[in-house]
Amino acid sequence: MKLRREEKAILDGRQGRGAARAMEILAALGNIHGASDMVAVKSVQVSGVSYRNIGEHGLAFLEEWAGQGSKAVVPAFMNPGGADRKLWKALGLPAEFVSMQRRVIKALMRLGVKPALTCTPYHAAPPPAFGDHLAWAESSAVCYANSVIGSRTNREGGPSAIAAALTGRTPRHSLHTDEGRLPTTVVDVGCPVATTADAGALGYMVGQLLSHDPRGGIPYLRGISPPRDGAREAWLKALGAAMAASGSVGLYHLEGVTPEAVSSGPELKSAAGRRVTVDSLEEGRRKLFSAKGRPNVVAFGCPHASLEELRRLDALLSGRKAAIPIWVFTAEAVRAKARRSGLAERLEACGAVLIADTCIVVAPLAELGIANVATDSAKAAFYLPPHQGVGVYFESQEDAVEAAVTGMLQASHGQAGSRTAPPPGKDDGGPSGTWPPRAKA
């Protein structure tokens, strides 16, 4: 791969040992992927932040790199870690785990990475623009940036994202190129996709359909549109997050909606090599249901909730008190806005806890005794059973809110028959009594 003069200078140590190491990593990856050169990036999102995921060896790697003296030369943000830095005690997280999590964050900050600790950096900072090259790492953020915004980023690994932050560059291949963004499959959708949970179920099914495509999966979807109200962004986000989780989809085109489909729709559609149809979401809903007992918590915000999503939850609750704890995961920057406006106080009065810096997928749920979660997130429903051993009631946000308020959840996509789940009690091994915590963020 060809390196420019300034890139060779970085490799020779002009920006310190840490940046030289970064350029070595990027050059090696570029050669593996057949990249001809590097591209300058506008921002970076770094994954591998939760201590639960990277462990002691990952922490040692970060601390060693941080000790080499180089810092990020472009805006760089952290993905969620494993603990809310303000509410960890109230949530019952072990002090030892939190201490190790702090070391991870400190090492990344020494590398110049900002502790945004969110999977939705476009909510917490000025979003990128159409055509901007990025080096983002979290799967749903990558899919949203490529699809909804029209920026260009591959899914970076933790080390390669840090390397991009220290150099301001990443190898030009795949989704950074015009040809790498052409669709492989036209997906005709012949059923309603009204809610964010519906969008997630569809995304899960599309990701599964494309996961076996040897050319990689980039769908061109037809026959559906997002809601025109404030739920539009959440719907598009849920669609891509589920595709990314189940099929490693980094980009989708939605006819008449996403920017590249609007600007060059016929050309994109004709590039696809095959065509599939989805006439029902029932299979997706059924496979995303895995609960085997009472829900300990109702969780929203996977990916992290926006301020508009918090307002929608407030409207659905309408001042009613939750019988099952509600956890809402969001960025600290969004939580701070909600607190200044009084929105956070209203949600907390209903029994909802706004949790920042972490997410339901990477938080240490076993230590909290959580066995089952109700959620409208297909991404969470896909990841929680294999990664956390947690069962999931996959429901619409409206149904999940009603379950939280009434204490009864009518599960409609699991085993045959009518089932209701009462609120968790002391015999469930889950939170009870004083939950949810009342600590202020």
Neighbours of 105 (CB within 10 A): 20
What domain range includes position 57? 5-176
Is 365 contained in some domain?
yes
The predicted pLDDT at position 142 comes to: 98
Task: Kindly state whether residues 199 and 118 are assigned to the same domain.
Answer: no
Task: Kindly state whether residues 48 and 80 are assigned to the same domain.
Answer: yes
Which token pair is 87? 């509410």
Task: Kindly state whether residues 49 and 172 are assigned to the same domain.
Answer: yes
Task: Annotate 127-142 with DSSP letters as a single string.
Answer: PP-TT-B-B--SHHHH
Domain boundary among 142, 176, 210: 176
Asked if residues 289 and 394 have their Cβ atoms less than 8 Å apart, the reply is: yes
**Nearest-CA neighbor of 22 among 158, 172, 162, 176?**
162
Task: Kindly state whether residues 168 and 83 are assigned to the same domain.
Answer: yes
User: What CATH code is carried by the domain that includes residue 385?
Assistant: 3.30.499.10
**174 vs 54, 408, 411, CA distance in Å?**
27, 47, 41
Euclidean distance between CA atoms 411 and 421, whole angstroms: 8
pLDDT (tens, 9 = 90+) of the chain, 441 residues, equals 899 999 999 999 999 999 999 999 999 999 999 999 999 999 999 999 999 899 999 999 999 999 999 999 999 999 999 999 999 999 888 999 999 999 999 999 999 999 999 999 998 888 999 999 999 999 999 999 999 999 999 999 999 999 999 999 999 999 999 999 999 999 999 999 999 999 999 999 999 999 877 666 899 999 999 998 889 999 999 999 999 999 999 999 999 999 999 988 777 878 887 899 999 999 999 999 999 888 999 999 999 999 999 999 999 999 999 999 999 999 999 999 999 999 999 999 999 999 999 999 988 887 788 999 999 999 999 999 999 999 999 999 999 999 999 987 655 444 333 334 433 333 333 333 223 333 344
- Classify residue 112 by its DSSP letter: T
Which token pair is 403? 């379950």
Euclidean distance between CA atoms 280 and 352, whole angstroms: 33
Long-range contacts of the stretch 400-403 (C-beta < 8 A, 24+) = 400/298, 400/300, 400/374, 400/375, 400/376, 401/298, 401/313, 401/316, 401/317, 401/326, 403/295, 403/298, 403/324, 403/374
The predicted pLDDT at position 379 comes to: 98
Task: Annotate 170-227 with DSSP letters as a single string.
Answer: EE--GGGSSGGGS-SEEEEE-S---SHHHHHHHHHHHHHHHTT-TT---EEEES----
Euclidean distance between CA atoms 78 and 80, whole angstroms: 6
Is 440 contained in some domain?
no
The predicted pLDDT at position 433 comes to: 27
Domain boundary among 227, 259, 285: 285
Asked if residues 352 and 317 have their Cβ atoms less than 8 Å apart, the reply is: yes
Task: Kindly state whether residues 400 and 274 are assigned to the same domain.
Answer: no
The predicted pLDDT at position 214 comes to: 62
Task: Kindly state whether residues 53 and 166 are assigned to the same domain.
Answer: yes
Number of domains in the chain: 3
Euclidean distance between CA atoms 400 and 360, whole angstroms: 16
Task: Kindly state whether residues 216 and 351 are assigned to the same domain.
Answer: no
The predicted pLDDT at position 408 comes to: 79
Task: Kindly state whether residues 164 and 280 are assigned to the same domain.
Answer: no
Euclidean distance between CA atoms 331 and 138, whole angstroms: 14
Task: Annotate 302-354 with DSSP letters as a single string.
Answer: EEEEPHHHHHHHHHHHTTPPPSS-EEEEE-HHHHHHHHHHTHHHHHHHTTEEE
Q: Which amino acid is at 277?
A: T
Is 441 contained in some domain?
no
